[in-house]
Structure 1
């Protein structure tokens, strides 16, 4: 089955095998469920170094821009401005050099737009690949590290932009021709790829947030559950309060998927103390950034961390609802 490795398998096979990290006092945050970035204490009081890595495999015309956004989002939601990047570019054997040129031009432009420097990496041709594969590591420094697992009872839950931004663009690109959706709505959804970065809103929200997270695979629902589990709390969410744009709603209805359970990059999830959430929302609005309060954080009264969505308790990992669509499409070829 495609998708993320299960939390149980990560705990058994990954999180317990981290070299000297367990005894290294400079490692403030190592591998853990829901935490997409590491935090390393810089010597001499220079703050915290935040590091995150992400792979991406798409057409050459998209992979650079999206790769930069996806990798730097995890640094941004940890409270840092992305500053340095390394890029590993793997290409199918026999790929024309124009593809490498297109990817590296795209990487360069996207990094310059964010003010980040590409400081190293690796490029190679691989027999087993069918499409380009890019793996990026992003790094940045902050004086105030914000984890996924920092949500506190009483906090408000905030979502910027809307649910299913990346998933909407994927639906438009990969399945749009077979969905009964107006072309104008499909075109709007396809343009959402330009909104994947959450750096602008993170620069505002980080001054208020107890926790921030970048919902990706499994969408907003999965992102909320990851915050709950990482913070050991209960999140109570009102579905009607979750912003869903018109093109997203139309595409998801036509495809038979839940907009809250498809790839969610482009939105920022945060928990903010109740007494400062209004100030946070006002500042976002003044900056021209969409945001809404969608629920609250409460303490556990026994039992495991959970997400409660309109009264439904969700405690198990979420499978992104786009995966079955891809599987169906592959089976018809």
Structure 2
């Protein structure tokens, strides 16, 4: 039986990739462990970056936000500005026009923010759908010389943005709010709920894409993504535990629920592979945009 969550690398290689055997000369990077987007030849100067992501198990009142940012983040970490979206919305029986309008308005706000066009999709109500679910495919263009891959060289710094564990803590504040009574004040819970806006790496990646060697988000296993980067790069890495930042409210929740900050899914945390000479400037540029960043280790 397959475990919950994103399938492991060995299953990807043994079953998924083994049963995909049509090759196309325009595909530069196809399905591959550690790479969350495809890279396709577009023209003489640009690559087309394509990524797809499911949206489920997120706060319904902010479903439009996540419908944009999950897939858009995977495009942005390759150095591309998200330009087009295709959105598939599957709705349960009883879903109202008012709720659908709320989702679309929020999705459109994010599209306006980043000048991304929704170019197609599908929306329907189905008896087999118990909770609203979406799948978004995002597309972006990047100049060939500005493509960023999640690959490192010895001596590169490891930088993370925002801190770890935000996704888990925010989820608790929406879906297990009663369990936070006595741990956080009502004002703190409200503040934590507002941190859903941090669950994206689009602004982070677009800010530093010309300075970073590569980037990867910390979704599905948190900082364990470093193992994928190291394996694909044939390097090692060293992380200093005391350098790993966790926002104070998030830290309270992680400790109360006995959750390991190194392995918990941390959507919104960007892992930046930085040539050592660029690290200071990367942190400064992120700070100018209101994004905290921290050097937590290096590749060896």
Please give the alpha-carbon distance, in whole angstroms, between the structure 2 residues aligned to 1:168 and 1:139.
Answer: 30
**Contact 2:221-2:265 within 8 A present in 1 as well:** yes
Task: Provide Cα deviations, 1:176-216, integer angstroms capped at 9, x if missing partner.
Answer: 32134222332222111112222222123211222200111
Corresponding pairs, count:
293
Q: CA deviation at 1:124?
A: 1.7
CA change 1:224–1:108 in 2 (3 A) is same
Please give the alpha-carbon distance, in whole angstroms, between the structure 2 residues aligned to 1:152 and 1:111.
Answer: 35
| Structure 1 unmatched ranges of 5 or more | 299-333
**Contact 2:59-2:174 within 8 A present in 1 as well:** no
SS in 1 for 2:53: strand
**Contact 1:248-1:259 within 8 A present in 2 as well:** no
Q: What is the match of residue 282 of structure 2?
A: 280
- 1:79 and 2:79 aligned: yes
Q: What is the match of residue 119 of structure 1?
A: 119
**Contact 1:72-1:138 within 8 A present in 2 as well:** yes
TM-score of the two chains, using structure 1 as the length reference: 0.83
What is the 5 A alignment of 1:175-324? 175-179=176-180, 180-183=182-185, 184-219=187-222, 221-298=223-300
**Contact 2:88-2:121 within 8 A present in 1 as well:** yes
Please give the alpha-carbon distance, in whole angstroms, between the structure 1 residues aligned to 2:259 and 2:27.
Answer: 40
Q: CA deviation at 1:225?
A: 2.3
Please give the alpha-carbon distance, in whole angstroms, between the structure 2 residues aligned to 1:174 and 1:226.
Answer: 31
Q: What is the match of residue 40 of structure 1?
A: 40
Instruction: Tell which deviates more after alignment, 176-185 or 104-113.
Output: 176-185
Q: CA deviation at 1:140?
A: 0.4
SS in 2 for 1:16: helix
Q: What is the match of residue 311 of structure 1?
A: none
Q: What is the match of residue 30 of structure 1?
A: 30
**Aligned residues: CA RMSD:** 1.6
| Structure 2 unmatched ranges of 5 or more | none
Q: Which runs of 4+ in 1 moved over 4 A?
A: none
Please give the alpha-carbon distance, in whole angstroms, between the structure 2 residues aligned to 1:173 and 1:287.
Answer: 27
Q: CA deviation at 1:59?
A: 4.4
TM-score of the two chains, using structure 2 as the length reference: 0.92
Task: Provide Cα deviations, 1:6-63, integer angstroms capped at 9, x if missing partner.
Answer: 1101001112333433xx22211111111101111112x1311111000111343221
**Contact 1:83-1:139 within 8 A present in 2 as well:** yes
Please give the alpha-carbon distance, in whole angstroms, between the structure 2 residues aligned to 1:97 and 1:199.
Answer: 29
Match of 2:18 among 13, 16, 19: 16
SS in 2 for 1:247: helix
Please give the alpha-carbon distance, in whole angstroms, between the structure 2 residues aligned to 1:230 and 1:4.
Answer: 19
SS in 1 for 2:295: strand
Q: What is the match of residue 4 of structure 2?
A: 2
Please give the alpha-carbon distance, in whole angstroms, between the structure 2 residues aligned to 1:274 and 1:231.
Answer: 17
